[in-house]
Each structure stands twice: as structure tokens, then as C-alpha cells.
């Protein structure tokens, strides 16, 4: 038996973040329709999180068709939804304690592809308990997605969630792997299968709208300094969007900070063959005898 106290304040905050997130995910998915604005949906979702008592843990990711992650609208984005495959990846934190979830809202008519990661996630969550190997969870995800006739995206993984830290060990692979670690009671992990009708690998595109702090240092430019003050106070080490910055020319301020290695960007990740990608994600707390899904309604 482990001596983790799952009723401690830390876990209560993880649960509270998950509860807000479960509600917001469903409400946001219902707002996805042909002709709706990407920017309006992102801003509505982020505002709704705050309204319910949380803070966005990262900018709402709105990934379209071959995009798998890190796509969020810019401040002047005029994109609207078409008959596409749309993934919403949303995070909430309470005092830095996180929850992370994703859902595919499909307008493209690829029902089975949208269903595959959901079924894979259910199979994965059935296995989660102390002592289970992360590779075993990956094997279950891969098997279900294979059975649907698709490929898992192999170079994206689930991950642990720390305080003010969106990606911590352990990684939860989306396929069978030989090297893995055992889950322990008290671990907080996001399990996120991705399925594709392509080859199953993603690589970086050129667009970057999401950034995170690497290190604090003195910055001479006034706008860059103002941006850095806001980043360190408000977002700390969590990812943020260019459109969240309250400075005159946020793109230029971020370019300066990036050149000085103060922040790094997250380029949009795209399926290598330009194929469709679907996604489903829940956050779980590993308990003594299984797991508690914090982001399920």
C-alpha cells in the first residue's frame, strides 16, 4: 500500500479543475458547427473556464483535419468551421494543479475515425491501476485503433501532470513499447489516444501561436519586458497564446523573447501524409485499486 493521501488539497484541486473541464468540454463541443468562428469558440471557452472558477491551463487547441495539436487562433483569425474533423483540446488549472481533456467534434462524416480514439481511451482506462506498465496501456490503445482499421499517432503520447507543468513523466504511449514504467497510486496522468487514416506520424508545421516560458532574464525592449512580466505573473511555466498578451505588438515582443531563449514556441503538429487525425483525452488520478477519471461528467 502506498501512503499517498488522495484527499489532500492538491488532489481536491485536480478534481475541481477536472469537474470544470468536463462541463466546458461538452458545452464547447456543442458550439462547433459549420460557419462558427474559431476565435469566438476559443475565447468563449477560455472565458467560460474563468466564469466557473478555473483558469485555462493552456490556450484552447482547435485542430482541423490533419492538425493534431498546438493550433490556436490568432487575435485576428477569421477562420470558420467547415465540413471538417475538429479536435478540441482544453486544459484547466486551479492554483497550478491541472486537468487536461480533448474531444473530436466531427463535421466531416468520418464517424468511425472519430469513434476509434474514444474506444481506445475506454480500453486504456480499464487498465489503469498501480503497478500497470505504461507500455501495456499503449498496447491496448494500439490494438483498439488497429481493430477500427486506423493507425495510432505513434509520436504523440499521454503524459503526467504536475503543478504549473503540463507535461511531466510518465509518458503514456499510444502503441506497444518495450521500455515503460509502472504507474503508482497518486500519479495524475492524461491519457490521450490519437487515431489517423494516415501513416501515424506528425511533424512540426510553421505556424506558432502558443508559447511557454523557459527562463527569466533581463530584457531591454519595453514591450518585451512588459510581456515577460505578464507571462511570469499570470502564466508562469504554463503555455499561453500570443492573443493573451496585453502589449502593443505581441508578435514582435515574443520574437525578441524567443531570440533571447526566454520563451519557446509550440509549432502546430500535422500528420505527415496530410491525413485526418482524431483525438480523445481524459485526466485520471491513479488510486489504490484503479483510477478516478477527473474529466468525466
Active site members: 89, 100, 159, 167, 192, 281
Measured at the CA of 201, the angle between CA 242 and CA 293, to 5 degrees, comes to 70
**CA 119 vs CA 44, 54, 179: distances in Å:** 29, 29, 24
Q: Is 65 exposed, middle or buried (0-12, 13-18, 19+ CB in 10 A)?
A: middle
Angle between helices 38-51 and 9-30 (to 10 degrees): 140
Nearest to 12 by CA among 92, 128, 125, 94: 94
Residue with cell 484503479: 290
Q: Is 217 exposed, middle or buried (0-12, 13-18, 19+ CB in 10 A)?
A: exposed
Sign of torsion over alpha carbons 255, 258, 264, 268: positive
Q: How many CA atoms lie within 13 A of 51 on its CB side?
A: 8
Give phi and psi for 134, each to the nearest 5.
-60, -30
Which helix (H) or strand (E) element contains residue 285?
A: strand 282-287
How far apart are alpha carbons 42 and 56 in whole angstroms? 11
Amino acid at each position: 500500500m502506498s501512503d499517498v493521501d488522495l484527499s489532500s488539497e492538491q488532489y481536491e484541486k485536480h478534481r475541481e479543475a477536472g469537474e470544470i473541464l468536463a462541463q466546458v468540454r461538452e458545452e464547447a463541443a456543442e458550439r462547433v458547427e459549420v460557419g462558427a468562428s474559431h476565435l469566438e469558440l476559443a475565447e468563449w471557452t477560455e472565458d467560460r473556464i474563468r466564469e466557473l472558477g478555473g483558469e485555462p491551463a493552456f490556450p484552447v487547441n482547435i485542430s482541423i483535419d490533419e492538425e493534431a495539436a498546438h493550433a490556436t487562433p490568432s487575435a485576428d483569425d477569421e477562420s470558420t468551421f467547415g465540413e471538417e474533423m475538429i479536435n478540441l483540446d482544453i486544459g484547466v488549472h486551479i492554483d497550478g494543479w491541472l486537468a487536461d481533456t480533448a474531444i473530436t467534434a466531427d463535421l466531416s462524416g468520418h464517424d468511425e475515425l472519430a469513434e476509434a480514439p474514444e474506444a481506445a481511451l475506454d480500453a486504456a482506462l480499464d487498465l489503469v491501476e498501480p503497478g500497470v506498465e505504461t507500455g501495456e496501456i499503449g498496447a491496448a490503445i494500439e490494438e483498439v485503433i488497429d481493430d477500427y482499421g486506423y493507425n495510432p499517432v505513434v509520436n504523440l503520447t499521454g503524459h503526467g501532470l504536475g503543478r504549473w507543468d503540463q507535461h511531466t513523466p510518465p509518458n503514456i504511449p499510444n502503441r506497444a513499447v518495450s521500455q515503460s514504467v509502472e504507474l503508482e497510486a497518486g500519479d495524475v496522468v492524461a491519457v490521450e489516444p490519437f487515431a489517423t487514416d494516415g501513416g501515424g506520424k506528425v511533424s512540426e508545421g510553421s505556424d506558432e501561436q502558443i508559447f511557454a516560458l523557459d527562463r527569466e532574464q533581463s530584457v531591454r525592449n519595453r514591450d518585451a519586458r512588459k510581456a515577460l512580466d505578464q507571462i511570469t505573473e499570470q502564466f508562469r511555466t504554463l503555455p499561453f497564446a500570443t492573443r493573451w498578451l496585453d502589449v502593443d505588438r505581441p508578435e514582435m515582443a515574443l520574437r525578441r523573447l524567443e531570440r533571447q531563449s526566454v520563451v519557446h514556441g509550440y509549432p502546430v503538429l500535422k500528420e505527415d501524409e496530410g491525413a485526418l487525425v482524431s483525438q480523445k483525452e481524459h485526466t485520471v488520478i491513479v488510486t489504490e485499486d484503479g483510477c478516478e477519471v477527473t474529466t468525466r461528467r
